[in-house]
Amino acid sequence: MEIEILWEEVRELSLGKSRRVERLDSPPTPLQFLRDFVSQNKPCIISNATLHWPALSNWSSDSYLIEALSTSSSPAPTFSVHLTPNGRADALVPLNDINKANDVSSSLSTTSLCFASAHVQHMPFPEALKLISSTSNNSNNTPPKVIAYAQQQNDCFRSEYSALSDDCDSDIPWASEALGCHPEAVNIWIGNHLSETSFHKDHYENLYAVVTGRKHFILLPPTDVHRMYIRDYPAAQYSYFQDTGEFTLELEKPLRYVPWCSVNPYPSAAETIDSEMAKFPLFFRGPKPFECTVNPGEILYLPSMWFHHVRQSPDDSGRTIAFDIKYAYFNFLQSIRHPETENTTLPKTKCEDIESDAENSSRDETEC
């Protein structure tokens, strides 16, 4: 099929015959970054990109982080921590996991999936760090009942974690110059090996900077959209009860649907690889996805609209800390003024003519 030929051609054009994400030994010039990667919608890994950040040495210390993010003021500052029973926030889970007491629409099959969002709890940083570490260092080899992930997609580093701002650059200079703007948002992620991010895409130019631990990415270009089997799933919300250590999962009311990628590249024990291949043959039997690992001091440039799935390996302290630096390149392009568009009077659209006639008709009736 033509679409399958496109999958192969995009791979060759984007990443060449090696089919590997290109690694640069040092940060590119703004021109090189814009010309060779942004304009070509091509990912790359930049080594030795943030070795000058004090964060790389400071943030491996619990005491340093706790002192920097704790104050003697009252009330103590709190931090957003996402709690799930499985480490997969904003992911698909079986609908029959929902509390049976919920009024589930009869139109929804109890064997189908829902899009589950994490329970967000605000707590002092020492408590958050302890919870993240405790679910990572489980010596009983039994699955923890709660998995904590400190992350909040609302520019959280420049708000909740601003006390750490001196430990890293406020932006990535060569990227800011190339893209003509500063980051739209800077988010920090603090988790352990159980934290996982399901397949999705972003409308931003993303730069992922790893500080401690390692991040493992599976990448697919936008042209592979058919292989993701995007479907609409009912939205649901986890609630965590600290006194019992149990979760409930409830559908949102009113019912809302979220378009999401159906594929899980790492099927669970209940989902055999054969059954997943039968459900999603385009993903499992199509061209091999790109895989890469981002280490401390490195940055992954992930172009907008690329699908990505993320897992992580912790450092010796049992955690991974990374940044997600988002640039809205399209906003910069849209902000550039062109005299042709500013000085040209466009003809009325059909809708505008109808509205104008309606206004005149209404005015005539009022005057009568």
Q: Is residue 368 part of a domain?
A: no
pLDDT > 60? residue 334: yes
pLDDT at residue 101, as a whole number: 36
Percent of the chain, pLDDT > 70? Answer: 80
Percent of the chain, pLDDT > 90? Answer: 65
As beta bridge partners, residue 67 has: none
pLDDT > 80? residue 110: no
Q: Is residue 362 part of a domain?
A: no
pLDDT > 50? residue 345: yes
Kindly report the pTM of this predicted structure: 0.84
Buried b (16+ CB within 10 A) or exposed e, 127-161: ebbebbbebbeeeeeeebebbbbbbbeeebbeebb
> 272 pLDDT band (50/70/90 cuts)?
confident
pLDDT > 50? residue 100: no
Domain of residue 179: give its range.
1-102+111-335
> Three-state DSSP class for 278?
helix
Q: Is residue 343 part of a domain?
A: no
Q: Is residue 35 part of a domain?
A: yes
> Residues 365, 226: contact at Cβ < 8 Å?
no
pLDDT at residue 341, as a whole number: 63
Mean pLDDT of 265-285: 84
pLDDT at residue 51, as a whole number: 96
Of 27-36, 142-151, 316-325, 349-358, least confident by mean pLDDT is 349-358
For the chain, the domain total comes to: 1
pLDDT at residue 137, as a whole number: 59
pLDDT at residue 365, as a whole number: 43
- Which secondary-structure segment (H or E) carries 329? helix 329-335
pLDDT > 60? residue 311: yes
Edge-to-edge, what's the strand order for the sheet holding 79-84? 119-123, 79-84, 147-149
Tokens of 120: 């967000």
Average pLDDT of the chain is 85
> 206 pLDDT band (50/70/90 cuts)?
very high
Q: Is residue 341 part of a domain?
A: no
Q: Is residue 279 part of a domain?
A: yes
> 20 pLDDT band (50/70/90 cuts)?
confident
pLDDT for 169-179, tens place per residue? 999 999 999 99
**What gap in Å lies between CA 109 and CA 105, rounded to an integer?**
9
As beta bridge partners, residue 220 has: 307
Q: Is residue 352 part of a domain?
A: no
Q: Is residue 135 part of a domain?
A: yes
Nearest to 119 by CA among 155, 158, 75, 86: 86
Of 12-21, 137-146, 350-359, least confident by mean pLDDT is 350-359
pLDDT for 66-88, tens place per residue? 999 987 566 778 999 999 998 98
> 332 pLDDT band (50/70/90 cuts)?
low
As beta bridge partners, residue 123 has: 79
Of 6-20, 240-254, 289-303, 326-340, which has the strongest mean pLDDT?
289-303
Where residue 171 sits, what CATH number does that domain have? 2.60.120.10
> Residues 11, 221: contact at Cβ < 8 Å?
yes
> Residues 293, 215: contact at Cβ < 8 Å?
yes
pLDDT > 80? residue 338: no
pLDDT > 80? residue 149: yes
**What gap in Å lies between CA 183 and CA 205, rounded to an integer?**
9
